[in-house]
Chains A and B, each alone.
Chain A
Amino acid sequence: EAGVAQSPRYKIIEKRQSVAFWCNPISGHATLYWYQQILGQGPKLLIQFQNNGVVDDSQLPKDRFSAERLKGVDSTLKIQPAKLEDSAVYLCASSLRGREYEQYFGPGTRLTVT
């Protein structure tokens, strides 16, 4: 079974630039999550999708972050404009519907904002 795929793995940008991350969940997983993990911290949920609908985006900084999952499969997370404090690893995870306690994580994208 293929795991959660993410790209790119690494990204370095200057502040005020924009960046986008891509995630392909495990086949058949209806629920998809984006997390932000700052160095030395546990992952923080940014947004949760159920198919192509948003379940929870309460911690997403909506003035600069946006995410979509148009066809209920792949998802993109965008930051525009980036700030220094956005430097972190962005993890994508997926799970079967109703099994949010069993999430499978991708390798993450490490973002450095200079």
Chain B
Amino acid sequence: KNQVEQSPQSLIILEGKNCTLQCNYTVSPFSNLRWYKQDTGRGPVSLTIMTFSENTKSNGRYTATLDADTKQSSLHITASQLSDSASYICVVSFHSGAGSYQLTFGKGTKLSVIP
């Protein structure tokens, strides 16, 4: 069964500190992995996307890593800001045939950045 597990479920950090969110998946056959940021009351917005051959991808203060062998990904946030407070969702897609893909969503990590 395709699954995406995220940890921790929630996290509180001080403004300016770094943090790392984890994502483990059992999706097969793997196509790509995307991290979304979802602000309260808004839809998810894509931060990064990585294919099988990519180990790391950055988007400003966000850096995602992917280890396709261990089926693990992490999202590292540097010098956190209050605006980083949101849920971060890991989404893994797999090729379902006939030129289409299906997505498996994690439950998300709720990050709170406090002053």
Contact = CB atoms under 8 A, between A and B. Distances in A.
Binding site of A, secondary structure by majority: helix, strand, loop or mixed?
A: loop
Contacts, number: 53
A106 B43 contact: yes
Interface in B71-109: 89, 91, 93, 99-103, 105-108
Nearest to A35: B105
- For chain B, the bracket of interface size reads 20 to 34
A107 B43 contact: yes
Contacts of B4: 42
Nearest to A33: B103
Contact of B103 (A45, A98, A107, A108): A45
A101 B45 contact: no
Interface in A47-62: 55-56
Nearest to A42: B105
Interface of A: 4, 40-45, 55-56, 91, 93, 98-103, 105-108, 110
